């Protein structure tokens, strides 16, 4: 008697479906990423609370001095970064609970937006730090020019300019990913003595697709990757870091010479 000759349909039990879903969404390195995610989530919550407290305190002083205006916006930018990290982890956790495909797609899109906001606000914080260092450099090393350049009006113009630049910087990041849908579970398998065939509940598949992120055609282009890497390495991080180090060194020299 042929062992493959079966008259009944074979269906997956609920615990088998759960195990299959877990295997799809997990990997041997999940434990490391789990603890990294927990640490990142915890620090993001603490950072959001501390920056909110700073904003409340500095907001009353930001209407008097340019330095406080810079510091207020810097705290706000850092808080946006922390909140975006929190939302990214939350949405990533939510989509693992096997929601319907439409809801999962919605959360995945929000997750991509949060990742773009995280990168944009991080760059904004870095350049606000550069601006406030430059402001203090003028005030300490060239106090005669401080009344002209270290004004609240000029600080607001610089902050608005940096905000617009950060928004422009974030736009390509929103198009760097695309959503990929694939069947997550085969609901029923039917085997007979003539052939093997797959009977799929179409409604079930439509509502329980596995939705994940992948690089878009734009992000896969070599020109885009090299341009993005060069722009980040030079214009975003290297230039701002060198500028901050130079101003801090000059400020320290001014204090030493006094």
Strand extents, DSSP E, 142-229:
177-183, 188-191, 196-199, 209-215
| pLDDT of amino acid 209 | 59
Parse the chain into domains and list their residue ranges: 33-187+204-216
**Which parts of the chain fold into alpha helices (H)?**
14-24, 30-59, 66-94, 101-141, 146-149, 152-174, 202-207, 217-220, 222-230, 239-257
Under the banding of pLDDT at 50, 70 and 90, the label for residue 198 is very low
Question: Is the pLDDT assigned to residue 57 strictly greater than 90?
Answer: no
Give the pLDDT band (50/70/90) at residue 128. Answer: very high
pLDDT at 185 over 60: no
Q: Kindly report, residue by residue over 24-44, the tens digit of the pLDDT.
A: 555 444 567 777 878 888 898
Q: What is the CATH number of domain 33-187+204-216?
A: 1.20.1070.10
Please tell me the predicted confidence (pLDDT) of residue 170: 86
Going 140 to 141 to 142 to 148, the CA torsion angle's sign is: negative
User: 129-181 pLDDT, tens per residue?
Assistant: 999 999 989 988 888 888 888 888 899 999 999 999 998 888 888 887 777 76
Residue 66's pLDDT band, with cuts at 50, 70 and 90, is confident
User: Would you state the pLDDT for residue 130?
Assistant: 93
pLDDT digits 0-9 by tens, 206-228: 555 566 667 777 777 888 888 88
Say which residues have a Cβ less than 8 Å from residue 218's Cβ, sequence separation at least 6. Answer: 172, 175, 176, 224
What is the arithmetic mean of pLDDT over 71-76? 92
At 6, the pLDDT band (50, 70, 90 cuts) reads: very low
Q: What pLDDT is recorded for position 176?
A: 78
What does the alpha-carbon distance between residue 215 and residue 221 come to, in Å, rounded to a whole number?
10
> What is the end-to-end Cα distance of the chain in Å, rounded?
100
Burial status of residue 101 (CB atoms within 10 A of its CB: 0-12, 13-18, 19 or more): middle
Question: Strands, DSSP E only, in 71-113?
Answer: none
pLDDT of residue 148: 84
Is the Cα torsion angle 148, 152, 153, 155 positive or negative in sign? positive
């Amino acid at each position: 008697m042929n062992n493959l000759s079966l008259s009944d349909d074979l269906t997956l039990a609920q615990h088998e479906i759960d195990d299959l879903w877990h295997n799809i969404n997990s990997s041997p390195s999940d434990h490391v990423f789990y603890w990294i995610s927990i640490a990142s989530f915890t620090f993001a919550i603490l950072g959001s609370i501390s920056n909110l407290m700073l904003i409340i305190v500095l907001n009353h002083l930001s209407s008097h001095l340019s330095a406080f205006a810079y510091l207020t916006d810097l705290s706000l930018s850092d808080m946006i970064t922390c909140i975006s990290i929190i939302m990214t982890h939350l949405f990533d956790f939510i989509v693992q609970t096997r929601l319907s495909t439409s809801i999962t797609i919605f959360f995945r899109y929000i997750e991509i937006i949060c990742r773009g906001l995280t990168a944009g606000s991080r760059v904004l914080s870095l350049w606000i730090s550069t601006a406030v260092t430059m402001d203090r450099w003028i005030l300490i090393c060239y106090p005669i020019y401080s009344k002209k350049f270290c004004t609240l009006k000029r600080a607001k113009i610089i902050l608005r300019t940096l905000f617009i630049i950060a928004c422009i910087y974030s736009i390509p990041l929103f198009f760097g990913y695309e959503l990929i849908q694939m069947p997550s579970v085969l609901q029923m398998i039917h085997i007979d003595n003539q052939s093997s065939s797959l009977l799929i509940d179409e409604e079930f598949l439509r509502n329980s697709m596995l939705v994940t992120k992948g690089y878009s055609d734009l992000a896969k282009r070599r020109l885009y990757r090299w341009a993005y890497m060069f722009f980040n390495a030079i214009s975003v991080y290297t230039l701002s870091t060198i500028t901050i180090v130079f101003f801090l060194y000059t400020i320290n020299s001014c204090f030493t010479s006094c």
